[in-house]
Structure formats: structure tokens, C-alpha cells
């Protein structure tokens, strides 16, 4: 499914993304190492066992990327020019290896671009939950979106 153009979004519009993704130890280890995040909570099972979590937790930036990535097919695939920023990023509960993540998105606001008349700005709220229903990530994201041509 192609993404939506600026005109096709309405404030309050909600998307419940239809797929889930189970996070593996390999996902966490690879992402942490690729991004040079050597936090032992992510890459050292022996260390993580001594923490309040009792086991490794998934890198929160992986969770953020997964949550936003899950939204692309329904919202911005091929119709976004770029992300302008993210705010109010939070991770209220940890993600562990074996957790299955799902995401939903709501359109918070939209406005036409003042400097680029062929574009508009859409603010999304993304929320990720795990199989327990607990919210594990949330953020606001501002995207520069294409308008329909003609």
C-alpha cells in the first residue's frame, strides 16, 4: 500500500498497524553493536542478570525505529520527503528478547508548509505496545509530506 499524501490525512485519524514483530536477541545484539552502544544491559547477559531487570533489555532506539518503521506502509511510504524531528520520546516499560511489538499511529496536527507550497507538515503520535498490552514506546514525529500533484 502506498503512503498517503498531505491532503489525505485528517487530524485525529488513527491507524492500527496490522503486523507485529517479535524481537530477538540477535536483533538487540546486532543493533547495539552496529550503533556502538556497548551498554552492558543490552549486550552482556551476565551483567544484566544482576540488574533490577534480571535479564537483558532491548536497546530503546531499536524499539523507537521499529515502532516508526511499522507505521510506514500505512502512512508515509513514498509520500514523505523527510522527518523533521521527534519529540516527547518515552519508553515507559522495557522490551525483552521474545516480546512481540505492535504499533498504532494518530495524526495530531497538520499544516501547509509556508516555504514549500507543494508540501505540508503532518505531526504523528506513534505508540508501541508489547503482547501484554503495556506501552513500551511513544513519540511525536513531524514529517514533511508531499502534496498531490495537479
Residue 77: CATH number of its domain:
3.10.129.10
pLDDT at residue 11, rounded to an integer: 98
The total of structural domains in the chain comes to 1
Q: What parts of the chain have a pLDDT lower than 70?
A: 1, 150
Domain that holds residue 96: 6-146
Contact 56, 39 (CB under 8 A): no
SS (H, E, C) 104-137: EEEEEEEEECCCCCCEEEEEEEEEEEECCCCEEE
What is the residue-averaged pLDDT of the chain? 95
Widest distance between CA atoms in the chain: 61
pLDDT at residue 48, rounded to an integer: 97
pTM score: 0.93
pLDDT at residue 79, rounded to an integer: 95
> Strand 100-112 relative to strand 135-146: parallel, antiparallel, unpaired?
unpaired
Residue 1 resides in a domain: no
Residue 125 resides in a domain: yes
Rounded-to-integer distance, Cα 123 and Cα 86, Å: 9
pLDDT at residue 149, rounded to an integer: 80
Per the listing, cell 508540501 goes with 119
Residue 139 resides in a domain: yes
Q: Please, which residues have CB within 8 angstroms of residue 38's CB and are 6 or more apart in sequence? A: 32
Amino acid at each position: 500500500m502506498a503512503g498517503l499524501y498531505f491532503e489525505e490525512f485528517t487530524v485525529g485519524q488513527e491507524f492500527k498497524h496490522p503486523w507485529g514483530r517479535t524481537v530477538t536477541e540477535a536483533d538487540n545484539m546486532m543493533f547495539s553493536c552496529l550503533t556502538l552502544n556497548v551498554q552492558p544491559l543490552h549486550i552482556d547477559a551476565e551483567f544484566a542478570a544482576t540488574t533490577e531487570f534480571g535479564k537483558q533489555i532491548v536497546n530503546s532506539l531499536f524499539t523507537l525505529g521499529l515502532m516508526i518503521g511499522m507505521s510506514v506502509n500505512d502512512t508515509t511510504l513514498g509520500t514523505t520527503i523527510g522527518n523533521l524531528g521527534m519529540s516527547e520520546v518515552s519508553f515507559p516499560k522495557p522490551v525483552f528478547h521474545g516480546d512481540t511489538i505492535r504499533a498504532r499511529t494518530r495524526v495530531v496536527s497538520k499544516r501547509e508548509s509556508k516555504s514549500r507550497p507543494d508540501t505540508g507538515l503532518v505531526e504523528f503520535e506513534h505508540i508501541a505496545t508489547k503482547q501484554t498490552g503495556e506501552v513500551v514506546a511513544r513519540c511525536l514525529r513531524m514529517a514533511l509530506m508531499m502534496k498531490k500533484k495537479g
